[in-house]
Amino acid sequence: MKKLNGKIVDEEEKKVVETYSNGVGLGFPHSHQNLVVGYALTVKKETSFLKPNFRGLARTKGIKFVCIDVNRPLSDQGPFDVVLHKLLAKEWCEIIEDYRHKHPEVTVLDPPDAIQHLRNRKSMLQDVVDLNLSDCHGKVGVPRQIVVTKDPSSIPYEVTKAGLKLPLVAKPLLVDGTAKSHKLFVAYDQLSLAKLEPPLVLQEFVNHGGIVFKVYIVGESITVVRRFSLPNHGKRDLSKVAGMYPVPRVSSYLSSADDADLDPSIAEHPPRPLLEKLATELRRRLGLRLFNIDMIREHGTRDVFYVIDINYFPGYGKMPDYERVFTEFLLSLVQSKFKKRIATLGSDYESFVTFIATRVGHLSLEDLYGHL
Ligand SMILES: Nc1ncnc2c1ncn2[C@@H]1O[C@H](COP(=O)(O)OP(=O)(O)OP(=O)(O)O)[C@@H](O)[C@H]1O
Ligand SMILES: O=P(O)(O)O[C@H]1[C@H](OP(=O)(O)O)[C@@H](OP(=O)(O)O)[C@@H](O)[C@@H](O)[C@@H]1OP(=O)(O)O
Ligand SMILES: [Mg+2]
Ligand SMILES: [Mg+2]
N residues, the chain? 372
Q: Does ligand 2 come within 6 angstroms of the Cβ of 85?
A: no
> What atom in ligand 2 is closest to the CA of residue 309?
22
17/262: higher pLDDT: 262
Flag whether 258 is marked binding. no
Q: ipTM score here?
A: 0.94
Q: Does ligand 1 come within 6 angstroms of the Cβ of 274?
A: no
Give the model's pLDDT for residue 330. Answer: 97
Collapsing DSSP states into helix, strand and coil, what is residue 117?
A: helix
Query: To the nearest whole number, what is the mean pLDDT of the chain?
Result: 85
Q: Does residue 4 carry a pLDDT above 60? A: no
> 314 CA distance to ligand 2 centroid (A)?
5
Flag whether 211 is marked binding. yes
Flag whether 61 is marked binding. no
Collapsing DSSP states into helix, strand and coil, what is residue 181?
A: helix
**Ligand 2 atom 22 nearest Cα:** 311
Q: Does ligand 1 come within 6 angstroms of the Cβ of 251?
A: yes
pLDDT level of residue 20 (50, 70, 90 thresholds): very low
Q: Amino acid identity of 54?
A: F
> What atom in ligand 2 is closest to the CA of residue 227?
18
Q: Does ligand 1 come within 6 angstroms of the Cβ of 165?
A: no
Kindly state the percentage of the chain with pLDDT values over 70.
78
Give per-residue pLDDT as tens, 145-181. 999 998 889 899 999 999 999 999 999 999 998 999 9
Residue spans per domain, the chain: 17-109, 117-322
CATH of domain 117-322: 3.30.470.20
Q: Does ligand 2 come within 6 angstroms of the Cβ of 227?
A: no
Calpha distance 272→125 (Å, rounded): 21
Give the model's pLDDT for residue 353. Answer: 59
Q: Amino acid identity of 276?
A: E
Flag whether 207 is marked binding. yes
Calpha distance 248→97 (Å, rounded): 36
> What atom in ligand 1 is closest to the CA of residue 143?
1
Q: What 8-state DSSP symbol labels residue 141? A: E
Calpha distance 256→66 (Å, rounded): 31
Angle (CA) 190-195-201 rounded to 5° is: 75
> 18 CA distance to ligand 2 centroid (A)?
31
**CA neighbours within 13 Å on the CB side: how many for 245?**
13
pLDDT level of residue 356 (50, 70, 90 thresholds): low
Calpha distance 273→55 (Å, rounded): 32
CATH of domain 17-109: 3.40.50.11370
Q: Does residue 372 carry a pLDDT above 50? A: no
Give the model's pLDDT for residue 29. Answer: 39
Give the model's pLDDT for residue 194. Answer: 87
Give per-residue pLDDT as tens, 209-231. 999 999 999 999 999 999 999 99
With CA atoms as reference, report the closest residue to 171 among 233, 125, 215. Answer: 125
Give the CA radius of gyration of the chain: 24
- Helices (runs of H) and strands (runs of E) counted in the chain: 14, 16
Q: Does residue 64 carry a pLDDT above 90? A: yes
Calpha distance 313→111 (Å, rounded): 12
Report the range of poorest mean pLDDT among 24-33, 48-57, 243-252, 307-316.
Answer: 24-33
The answer to whether residues 153 and 214 touch, using CB atoms and an 8 Å cutoff, is no
Calpha distance 288→111 (Å, rounded): 7
Q: Does ligand 1 come within 6 angstroms of the Cβ of 309?
A: yes
**Ligand 2 atom 12 nearest Cα:** 315
Report the range of poorest mean pLDDT among 59-63, 190-194, 296-300.
Answer: 190-194
Flag whether 214 is marked binding. yes
Cα 326 to chain center, whole Å? 12
**How much is the average pLDDT of 72-89?**
95
> 93 CA distance to ligand 4 centroid (A)?
20
> 312 CA distance to ligand 2 centroid (A)?
8
Report the run of H or E that residue 357 belongs to, with start and end. Answer: helix 347-359
Can you state the percent helix, strand and coil of the chain, rounding each to 5? 40, 25, 35
With CA atoms as reference, report the closest residue to 250 among 217, 279, 220, 210. Answer: 210
Flag whether 208 is marked binding. yes
Give per-residue pLDDT as tens, 274-291. 999 999 999 999 999 999
Flag whether 148 is marked binding. no
With CA atoms as reference, report the closest residue to 103 among 36, 41, 46. Answer: 36
**How much is the average pLDDT of 81-100?**
95
Distances 152 to 177, 190, 199, 201, 259 between C-alpha atoms, Å: 24, 11, 9, 12, 42
pLDDT level of residue 25 (50, 70, 90 thresholds): very low
Q: Does ligand 1 come within 6 angstroms of the Cβ of 316?
A: no
Q: Amino acid identity of 370?
A: G
Q: Which ligand is nearest to the CA of 314?
A: 2
Kindly state the percentage of the chain with pLDDT values over 90.
65
